[in-house]
Amino acid sequence: MTTVRTVADGFSFLECPRWRDGRLWLSDFYTRRVLTVDESGQVETVVEVPEQPSGLGWLPDGRLLVVSMRDRRVLRLEPDGALVEHADLTGLTTGHLNDMLVDDAGRAYVGNFGFDLMSGAPLRTANLVRIDPDGKAQVAADGLAFPNGMALVDGGATLVVAESFGNRLGGYTVGAGGELLERRDWATFGAFPTGDDLGQVLATLSVVPDGICAAPDDTVWVTDADHHRAIRVAEGGKIVDEVSSGDLQVYACALGGADGRTLFLCAAPSFAEHERKDTRDAVLLAATV
């Protein structure tokens, strides 16, 4: 069994980890902070995001992009510390913004809930929005079953998207200008669920893919948000490795560390806002893989 260790604790709900400049960058939802954590567990606050931070990424010039979930904006951190609007997605999305991937050219792909998840509303599909480096935004793909974590594989030719309530990872061919072209099921874990009741759908899912990250061999690490584990998946859906998160659920992951072999895991007892917003029992875990 792979040994999992605690790097840091005392958080509300961690999401969207990214390894950069010798530190892990990540969002803590209900303290509304973007944080960095080094391998020794030292935590620093980078910026506060009043409407709840989520996805993170960087423009080619090094400026940080941050998803502001509740007001459906993507913000940009300027060198002087000012947090300014990069793109307003309120007219393009139907729920809280969620995870984000920013490619090497500065194009950002942003998912959203598509419905009121925390209030138990009926399930609805959602879209992915592409934001070009100049802040112009457009819908890149639609009809996704809760688009969540994303990763680029095949040298950037394929965008893999976790569909948390779809039992699958979607794969999109990426065009020269960042367009998402033909879609395929990159990995499937069972039948696509039917119905719109969240509890009933969750009970049918073999894997609840949440945060993901690409491994060097073009497999993908996937956090299975309802089964206490992270799995490494090959195209098609074969599980080739697994790390248990013990008593905690795990919601996001990133590869990093000095040797690139540390799998960081964002873990908590549950995802429900009413259970997490006033608690500080989320933790950052790590395993060598």
Specify the pTM. Answer: 0.97
pLDDT value of residue 278: 96
Name the H helices within the chain: 198-204, 273-276
Question: Other CB atoms closer than 10 Å to residue 184's CB: what's the count?
Answer: 10
Q: What is the pLDDT of residue 233?
A: 98
Is the four-CA dihedral 113, 223, 5, 255 of positive or negative sign? Answer: negative
Contact yes or no for 101/152 (Cβ under 8 A):
yes
The one-digit pLDDT tens for each residue of the chain (289 residues) are 689 999 999 999 999 999 999 999 999 999 999 999 999 999 999 999 999 999 999 999 999 999 999 999 999 999 999 999 999 999 999 999 999 999 999 999 999 999 998 888 899 999 999 999 999 999 999 999 999 999 999 999 999 999 999 999 999 999 999 999 999 999 999 999 989 999 999 999 999 999 999 999 999 999 999 999 999 999 999 999 999 999 999 999 999 999 999 999 999 999 999 999 999 999 999 999 9
214/221 Cα distance (integer angstroms): 6
Instruction: Give the amino acid at 259.
Output: D
Per domain, the residue ranges of the chain are 4-288
Give me 231's structure tokens. Answer: 């799995």
For domain 4-288, say whether CATH 2.120.10.30 is its number: yes
Count other Cβ atoms within 10 Å, centred on residue 271.
18
| Per-residue model confidence (pLDDT) at position 16 | 98
Decide: 66 and 49 in contact? Cβ < 8 Å: yes
**pLDDT value of residue 192:** 95
Q: What is the DSSP string of 91-144?
A: TT-SS-EEEEEE-TTS-EEEEE-SS-GGGTPPP--EEEEEE-TTS-EEEEEEEE
CB 162 within 8 A of CB 213: no
Give pLDDT, residue 119: 84
Question: Rounded distance, CA 280 to CA 33, Å?
Answer: 13
